[in-house]
């Protein structure tokens, strides 16, 4: 399997923790120079200190101006070859209690955050006739889950964007794909576990089992498993793979 091109520069949004940090670390091990973006400077600096990244920038992906400035600063050090649009958030509520503000929050971070990120980095990739774009979506972008209609809608939008953009860029040397993790052992899922415990009175073990039951393998996915799929998509051996939404979910989808 072909690896990353030499001296690749990768940028990972939401790269300070969870899946994003694991992806950043895996790209470092694969030989890339990695810049992580996020909202919390201390978390990003800790990732750099741990060897999971080389540079960091502070920006909220829902703030287009700040995000574009941070990406421009990163590209000023070295053109961006690999773009990982990972930043996201999840809120759960019954549809009847999901107001317009909730839908806007989920769309702004999970969908428009991807749009803003790609729009900032794509012109340079097209100009150099090379690029790898990977959006971290979710199995919620491939199927539905109860009580997360806004989040699921946003992740479905990401998958649709990936499929359309891949066709538009098919002859440019830029590939566009999504990875769609199932329930993964991260801080984000820990919040869902706490929510289940609070609302149902179940134990932590029972709450974890409630999420793990969606996975035919009966477990949570690990961040490293998601990162491995991302690194493969970024490699030269995946040049013919574009427009795909690859589930990392133990056979759930």
Active site residues: 151
The phi and psi torsions of 133 (rounded to 5 degrees) equal -115, 125
- 86-101 burial, b at 16+ Cβ within 10 Å, e below that, comes to bbbbbbbeeeeebeee
- In sign, the C-alpha dihedral spanning 77, 52, 58, 229 is positive
HEC profile for 65-100?
A: HHHHHHHHHHHHHCCCCEEEECCCCCCCCCHHHCCH
Please give the structure tokens belonging to residue 7: 């001296």
What is the full DSSP assignment across 223-241? HHHHHHHHHHHHSGGGTT-
Burial class (CB in 10 A: 0-12, 13-18, 19+), 80: buried
């Amino acid at each position: 399997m072909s690896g990353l091109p030499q001296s690749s520069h990768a940028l990972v949004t939401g790269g300070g923790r969870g899946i994003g940090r694991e992806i950043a670390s895996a790209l470092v091990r694969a030989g890339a120079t990695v810049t992580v973006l996020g909202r919390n400077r201390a978390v990003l600096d800790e990732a750099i200190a741990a060897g999971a990244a080389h540079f960091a920038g502070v920006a909220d992906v829902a703030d287009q101006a700040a995000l574009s400035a941070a990406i421009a600063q990163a590209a000023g050090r070295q053109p961006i070859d690999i773009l990982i649009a990972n930043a996201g958030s999840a809120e759960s509520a019954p549809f009847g209690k999901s107001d317009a503000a909730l839908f806007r929050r989920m769309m702004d971070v999970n969908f428009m955050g991807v749009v803003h990120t790609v729009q900032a980095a794509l012109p340079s990739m097209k100009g150099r006739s090379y690029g790898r774009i990977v959006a971290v979506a979710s199995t919620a972008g491939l199927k539905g889950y109860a009580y997360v209609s806004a989040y699921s809608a946003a992740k479905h939008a990401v998958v649709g964007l990936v499929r359309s953009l891949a066709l538009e860029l098919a002859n440019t040397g830029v590939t566009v794909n999504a990875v769609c993790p199932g329930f993964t052992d991260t801080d984000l899922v820990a919040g869902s576990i706490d929510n289940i415990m609070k609302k149902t009175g179940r134990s932590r073990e029972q709450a974890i089992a409630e999420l793990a039951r969606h996975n035919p393998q009966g477990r949570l996915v690990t961040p490293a498993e998601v990162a491995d799929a991302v690194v493969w998509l970024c490699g030269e051996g995946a040049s013919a793979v574009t427009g795909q939404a690859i589930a990392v979910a133990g056979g759930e989808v």
